[in-house]
Amino acid sequence: MERKVVIFDHPLIQHKLSILRNIETSTKDFRELVNEIAMLMTYEATRDLPMEEIDVKTPCGVASCNHIAGRKLAFVPILRAGLGMVDGCLKLVPAARVGHIGLYRDEETLMPVEYYCKLPKDIEERDVFVVDPMLATGGSAIDAIRQIKLRKPRSIKFMCLIAAPEGLDALKKAHPDVDIFCAGMDEKLNENGYIVPGLGDAGDRIFGTK
């Protein structure tokens, strides 16, 4: 099956993203919006989960229904900012497991620096959704996915709120088997590796650290 790259054009997602980008948006609203957009993206990113037919007894008869065929999922946020998306994802898939990968971008080299990795023990049986609001140079996502692949999950998808073309190209090239979902696609990176126009530093805006 061909790999998917989905850039969302749904009005609800685009509307929420426009508020998220605004420099005047408060930390509280920013945090809520990140989760709301993550929830809407999860709806689409889980579209191809396999189904099975089951019979359900209703008060008036038996309905032949579709039911998700026992797939096990895991969400893996890239710390810190990815944490901001997890509650939204879990709203739609409450039984999913959550792993964590700690990476930060060195401000000088822009290269990812790893500091933590804890994944579900049975990850080999799980479809994994790696989540991070920003795909800038792509270094963090590429490295996180590389680490997760060492543990052999069934599949990996990547979800971000805003991507730069540079990061999207790099991720597509590094991991041609990973489906990518972005709420918005921006113009470029600036000289400091920030997405333009973007939304600023996602982690600082979610946690109110600047």
Q: Which stretch binds ligand PRP (CB under 6 A): 22-30, 150-158, 179-187, 198-206?
A: 198-206
Which residue of 13, 130, 134, 171 would you call a contact of ligand URA, by CB under 6 A? Answer: 134
Query: Does the protein bind ligand URA through residue 136 (CB under 6 A)?
Result: yes
Q: How far, in Å, CA of 17 to CA of 33, rounded?
A: 8
Alpha helix stretches (DSSP H) within the chain: 11-21, 27-45, 83-92, 139-149, 165-174, 202-207
Q: Is 71 a known active-site residue?
A: no
Cβ-count burial 163-173 (b if 16+ within 10 Å, e if not): bbebbbebbee
**Angle at which helices 11-21 and 27-45 cross, to 10°:** 150
Q: Is 106 a known active-site residue?
A: no
Query: Does the protein bind ligand PRP through residue 84 (CB under 6 A)?
Result: no
* Catalytic-role residue among 29, 106, 109, 122: 109
Q: Element (H or E) spanning 187, and its range?
A: none
The smaller minimum CB distance to ligand URA, of residues 145 and 202, is found at 202
C-alpha angle 86/70/128, rounded to 5°? 35
Q: Which of residues 12-71 bind ligand PRP (CB under 6 A)?
A: none
What's the alpha-carbon Rg for the chain, to the nearest Å? 18
Beta strand 195-196 with 188-189 is antiparallel
Query: Does the protein bind ligand PRP through residue 85 (CB under 6 A)?
Result: no
Q: Which stretch binds ligand PRP (CB under 6 A): 17-25, 51-59, 130-138, 180-188?
A: 130-138
State residue 9 phi and psi, 5-degree precision: -120, 15
The smaller minimum CB distance to ligand PRP, of residues 40 and 171, is found at 171
Query: Does the protein bind ligand PRP through residue 200 (CB under 6 A)?
Result: no
Contact 6, 16 (CB under 8 A): no
Closest distance to ligand PRP from the beta carbon of 57 (Å): 47
Q: Which of residues 54-83 bind ligand URA (CB under 6 A)?
A: 81
Q: Given the rule CB under 6 A, which residues bind ligand URA?
A: 81, 134, 136, 194-195, 198, 201-203
Q: Given the rule CB under 6 A, which residues bind ligand PRP?
A: 78, 80-81, 104-105, 110, 112, 132-141, 167, 193, 201-203
Residues with catalytic roles: 105, 109, 201, 204
